[in-house]
Structure 1
Amino acid sequence: ARIPEAGSVLDILEKCPEGQRKGEFPVVVFEGLDATGKTTVTQSVKDALGAVLLRSPPACISQWRTIFDEEPTPIRRAFYAAGNYILASEIAKASTQAPVIVDRYWHSTAAYTVATETDGNIQNLPPDHDAVYKWPEDLLKPDLVLLLTVSPEERARRLEARGLERTKEEAELEANSLFRQRIEESYRRMVNPACQEVDASPSKEEVFKTVLQLIKKHCAL
């Protein structure tokens, strides 16, 4: 009753079939903090492979993102979790026609949740092999997950150059290096599928070349 948009999100979610399966084409997810180069590299890979590019949260609910970002953490997380299952139905459909490139998916939701729910340094995170790091059994799984990383200094420089308005969490990242470390370590502990780390500090051309080699190595193209 308080958030009418929540009803709209749930309506879309309920129309998504359960137990989504991907098509014959590969699904590659790109993860990483803001300003690690995801937008640039996903667009380049999309063009090179003739792929479909999808984003989380998906376009059909992303217009409500700012509303949910202002809500308490459990509600905000529920929005992003629902978005993953809606996105899964889009991935399932698109991957029957072409390779699919995804800008953020479940690993982002999980990493930010784990980092928010813990305090201090990475020693306070749930231990390796904890269930929080495992891919949900009922969620469509990608073929490959690439985690783009850059140094904190380089990321700050890129953010400043972009001059964009930051989300509450992005502002928290800047103010709190421990929060950033918890997110990055959470990404690294994800399993089945694990994140393959890619240093995104070199030139756009070099990063693109590295990424393309990894995709060709791990996916049938």
Structure 2
Amino acid sequence: KFYLADKMKLALSNVISTFIITRVLANSMFYGKTKYSTDEMKELGIYKSYKDLLLDLTGPRFNNSSIIQNLVSVFKAQCIPPQPPPQLSHRKVFVVIEGTHNSGRNNMLRRLAQTYQGYALQNPPRCLAHLKNSFFGTKFERKAYLSLCNYAMAFDIQSVWHLHPVFLSSYYYDHLSFNLAWGHDKPEDLPPVGSNIYNWPEDLLVPDLVVLLNAHRSIRNRISTTKDNYLFQRKIVTSFERFSDPPVLMVNATNFFEDSFYKIKNHMQKLWGYTMSINVPPPK
């Protein structure tokens, strides 16, 4: 005869076993893959175009999701500008600052913006930021929300980059690396270099430079980071090492803040001088 505690232990054991089997099957589907279909990417919360994202948001998967329906309505009403951005002959640079845990990303964002009299922006954008808490505790809904935030943020950037450089914290590579890290158990399981899953979305605004501030384990140990979190960060960094277009500047954030700042500053000035301006080719 089972007592209540025994029944609870058995139920918990069954749940854990089911979870492990599900993860193993999921990983076996994707392990070593180079080419992913649109549907396979959706299962990882990855979208390669606004069209694919919108089709999913308005399709069967989210038919009964009131928060997704509200998200789409707010995006269309408040995020899409009434007029397309003007064609420019030149503009200022657009730089994305990403970072692993406790890497000082936001401090770096503000410092660069102050140095170059630029805008320091953070995802999610203002038009969708008030919906952020609605997506805590969800899975596919939250990934879809973050994907739509990238497109909304692109509109914001194009409205100001003719005036000042734009420095943004958290963009597409950030979300892609997290989705890949959650979907694979070990760094070795991640898609190989050259996989189409690393491609930038065909219609999403491309930054001129992406920077990853990587705080190594010696820093994270000081804040009692667990081994599991360290493994997760390794998967994040491995993904960034495999991104190539746009390229990523890897910066060791274990160093002093000033060292990291000057490495980024010197790299930018080699690319664009002191003006931080880019000539825009005319449309074809």
Q: TM-score range by the shorter chain?
A: 0.7 to 0.9
Deviation at 1:33, TM superposition (A): 1.7
Within 5 Å, give how 1:1-221 maps onto structure 2.
4-14=66-76, 15-16=79-80, 24-72=91-139, 74-119=140-185, 121-157=186-222, 159=223, 175-219=228-272, 221=276
Deviation at 1:216, TM superposition (A): 1.3
Instruction: Give the aligned CA root-mean-square deviation in angstroms.
Output: 2.5
CA deviations over 1:163-189 (Å, ceiling 9, x no partner): xxxxxxxx8x76343222111101111
Are the counterparts in 2 of residues 24 and 96 from structure 1 also a CA contact under 8 Å? yes
Cα distance in 1, alignment partners of residues 98 and 156 from structure 2:
18
SS at match of 1:109: helix
CA deviations over 1:10-33 (Å, ceiling 9, x no partner): 234335269978861100101122
Cα distance in 1, alignment partners of residues 74 and 245 from structure 2:
27
Cα distance in 2, alignment partners of residues 108 and 197 from structure 1:
14
Specify the structure having the higher radius of gyration (Cα).
Answer: 2
Which residues of structure 1 form unaligned runs of 5+?
A: 161-170
Are the counterparts in 2 of residues 12 and 86 from structure 1 also a CA contact under 8 Å? no
Are the counterparts in 1 of residues 216 and 252 from structure 2 also a CA contact under 8 Å? no
CA deviations over 1:54-93 (Å, ceiling 9, x no partner): 1122233223323313102x21111110010000101111
Aligned to 1:163: none
Are the counterparts in 2 of residues 151 and 201 from structure 1 also a CA contact under 8 Å? yes
Cα distance in 1, alignment partners of residues 67 and 120 from structure 2:
25
Deviation at 1:197, TM superposition (A): 0.2
Relative to 1, partners in 2 of residues 1:216 and 1:93: Cα closer, same or farther, differing over 3 Å? same
SS at match of 2:92: coil
Are the counterparts in 1 of residues 97 and 213 from structure 2 also a CA contact under 8 Å? yes
Cα distance in 2, alignment partners of residues 13 and 34 from structure 1:
29
Percent of aligned pairs sharing the same letter: 25
Relative to 1, partners in 2 of residues 1:174 and 1:95: Cα closer, same or farther, differing over 3 Å? farther
Q: TM-score, normalised by structure 1?
A: 0.83
Q: TM-score, normalised by structure 2?
A: 0.66
Corresponding residue pairs, total? 207
